[in-house]
Structure 1
Amino acid sequence: MFNMLNLIRNEHMKLFKQFSTWVMVGLLVLVLLIVGIATKYLADSQTSENWKMQLQAENQQLTEQKEQVPDIGKSHDVLEERIAINQYRIDHDIPPIENKTLWGFMNSATNLTSLVTLFTIVIAAGIVAGEFSWGTIKLLLIRPVSRSKILLSKFMTTLLFALYNLFILFISSFIFGAIFFGFEGKELPYLAFVDGEVVERNMITHILTLYGLNSVDLIMMVTFAFMISTVFRNRSLAVGLSIFLMFTGQQVVMLLSEYEWVKYILFANTNLSQYMNGQPLVEGMTMTFSITVLLVYFILFVTMSWTIFQRRDVAN
């Protein structure tokens, strides 16, 4: 245990000695600040004082649309959910959360977890491949520590880097949101449509849930980049392939969503928020199914990384 902690500490020292690491952290905060300024001074407010009339008009339009679609299916369910939530807001005097509020800003800031994923992919792609390209892998492996512990320390350091950035994103979004928009509406709940009825949930809990769900895609893409880095010892390949799949995987799955077998593709299961909305990509998919598929892919990626790293000859 002590050796593992020392290995992780050494990996942290190497990671945070790099100027590029701090640049990525700084860029994350800077992008969030720019989003806050743009939201404060450029974005239009989503609601107004007569928000109840707006929701009533919206519900009338949604009801007309609902009558034009089949009684079963994704479109019908989405319309039914929106109508129910709008009506609940009207009946219980709960205005929609605007972008120009603390909760609205923090909620939109969760989209920047994709930026955290991008930065962590860069770290994962270089943390092993870099040792080979710099020629320091031999010095690393002559230590009286097993190869599995060395690789585990690098993987843990990569995931911890992602965790640090998620924490920075959460805290910074709260600080910037409070500075730009104050605490008005802090008591407003999040409304969810569960089992045919609208329920109120704590807003902080909802935002943390979004971070957790978005972290699933982060962990899978980072593990994939780490595997490519370990197997092929090529930083550019790991970064390029991971980023390409990160941005195109969901689109490919959507194009193939009419086929039953698409549910076994990794990217059909990384978006667990589809079950919060009650709209799985393929009919019959469940949260348990997606978690099982993700675990299979995760074990596959990790097994390939550990097996090849253990057997690799670094004498030459």
Structure 2
Amino acid sequence: MLSLIYNEWVKICKQKSTLLMIALLALIVMAAGGLTKYMESKAGPAAGDWKQALQAENTSLKQNMEGAEIVAPSLREYTNKQIAINEYRIKHDVAPAKESTVWTFMNDSADLISFAGLFVIIIAAGIVAHEFSWGTIKILLVKPFNRWKILLSKYIAVNLFFLLMLAVVFVIAGATGFVLFGTGVAANNVHLAFVNGAVVEQNLFLYLVKTYALNSLSVYLLVAMAFMISAVFRNSSLAIGLSVFLLLMGGTITNLLASKFDWAKYSLFANTNLMQYYDGMPLVEGMTIGFSITMILIYFAIFHLLAFGIFTKRDISV
């Protein structure tokens, strides 16, 4: 099994496009850092008393809550959480960052995971389909391995490549942020979280790791879907096109549906953003983190049952 995974990993690494993808992803992260630095230099340092600004924000939030006739429980919970965090900052003199630091830039760079996902989707979409289009699938299947092991080795290799691309984003963002912005004031380099009705300070590095891991869930499932389409339909173009479309538009479409229909909570993209339960509010009222994890597991199981079930049972012809 390990030899199969190694062979698939070598196949991925030998492709000229792989090195190009890694270099391009690193360039995108560095360009984002340069643009952020340029915009901050044009805007100049933030002015005013931050404590007064937070007090004014809390006053505005409370007035909005009191003035609203109907307030969704999830929105009320999110507003109370934000007010509590602001009050904690004022009381304990924990000022929000006035300008970017390596930590804030790394946090913002989590949005660039979608670019990493785009490249991984291309690999996942072709890793099985290309075996059919190149006519090498029969040579692969005559080896003394079960079909499911061959397919699993390809899937593991794809996920290893995904982890590599995530590491590229994380490491390059950290290096770029350190060079351009520095570490900032030590007292401000904490993450404030609202846990069990109280504000607590959390390790910022561990929070960033959690952010990257949770933000990669939607990409991970799209990679699994692209792999499934590649295995079932043997068509890399279909896998790339559909997966990239959902990567770019899936969240937007889900948000529009969720504003009108409660059944939108059963869609894939309503549940992949688990950060909504930590730093935001659920997309649809009544959603819980347990519900989202259950839906993720259901979609994950469907993708893999289709991929492995059809690939291992049908006749192979090229």
Matched, 1:263 2:260: no
**Matched residue, 2:276:** 274
Give yes or no for contact 1:70–1:76 (8 Å, CA) kept in 2: no
Pairwise mapping of residues 239-250 of structure 1 onto structure 2 (< 5 A)? 239-250=240-251
Give the aligned partner of residue 238 of structure 1.
239
Alignment of 1:173 with 2:173, yes or no, is yes
- 1:29 lines up with 2:29 in the alignment: no
* Partner deviation per Cα, 1:136-173 (whole Å, 9 max, x = no partner): 11111111111111100100011100101111211111
Q: Distance in 1 between matches of 2:286 and 2:196?
A: 16
Residue 194 of structure 2 aligns to a residue in which SS?
strand
Aligned ranges for residues 38-77 of structure 1 at < 5 Å? 38-43=35-40, 44=43, 47-48=46-47, 50-70=49-69, 72-73=71-72, 74-77=74-77
* 1:207-222 equivalences in 2 (<5 Å): 207-222=208-223
Amino acid at match of 1:277: D
The one-letter code matched in structure 2 to 1:42 is: M
1:300 equivalent in alignment to 2:302 = yes
Q: Distance in 2 between matches of 1:64 and 1:214?
A: 33
Instruction: Please tell me the root mean square deviation across aligned C-alpha atoms, in Å.
Output: 1.8
For residues 215-271 of structure 1, what are the alpha-carbon distances to aligned partners after superposition, in whole Å with 9 as ceiling and x for unaligned? 211221100010011111111100000111222222222222243322222221111
CA distance in structure 2 between the aligned counterparts of 1:84 and 1:36, rounded to whole angstroms = 31
Change (3 A) 1:9 1:48: farther
Alignment TM-score, normalising by the size of structure 1: 0.93
Q: Which runs of 5+ in 2 are unaligned?
A: none
Tell me the SS of whatever aligns to 1:193.
Answer: strand
Q: What's the CA shift for 1:52? A: 1.9
The one-letter amino acid of 2:206's match is: T
What is the match of residue 151 of structure 1?
151
Relative contact order: is structure 1 or structure 2 higher (C-alpha 8 Å, sep ≥ 6)?
2
CA distance in 1, matches of 2:143, 2:44: 59
Displacement of 1:97 after TM fit? 2.7
Change (3 A) 1:268 1:28: same
Q: Rate the CA distance shift 1:278–1:315 in 2: closer, same or farther, 3 A.
A: closer
Name the SS for the 1:267 alignment partner: coil
The answer for unaligned runs of 5 or more in structure 1 is none
Equivalent pair of 1:99/1:105 in contact (CA under 8 Å): no
Identity of aligned residues (%): 47
TM-score by length of 2: 0.92
- For residues 87-144 of structure 1, the C-alpha deviation after alignment (integer angstroms, 9 at most, x for no partner) is 2111111111345211111110111111111111111001111111111111111111
Change (3 A) 1:27 1:301: same
Looking at structure 2, the residues matched to 145 and 20 of structure 1 have their Cα atoms a distance apart, in angstroms, of 29
| Greater than 6 Å deviation, 4+ residue runs | none
Is 1:20 equivalent to 2:17 in the alignment? yes
Q: CA deviation at 1:83?
A: 2.1
Q: Which amino acid aligns with 2:66?
A: E
Paired amino acid for 1:307: G
Compared CA separation, residues 81 and 111, structure 1 to 2 (3 A): same
Shift in Å, 1:295: 0.9
Equivalent residue pairs, number: 313
Q: Secondary structure of 2:192's partner?
A: strand
CA contact (8 A) 1:228 1:237 kept: yes
CA distance in 1, matches of 2:45, 2:149: 51
Q: Match for 2:32: what amino acid?
A: V
Give secondary structure in 1 for the equivalent of 2:308. helix
Are the equivalent residues in 2 in contact too, given 1:69–1:76 (CA < 8 A)? no
- Aligned partner of 2:67: which letter? Q
Query: Is the alpha carbon distance of 1:45 and 1:124 closer, same or farther for their aligned partners in structure 2, counting shifts above 3 Å?
Result: farther
Q: Distance in 1 between matches of 2:223 and 2:296?
A: 13
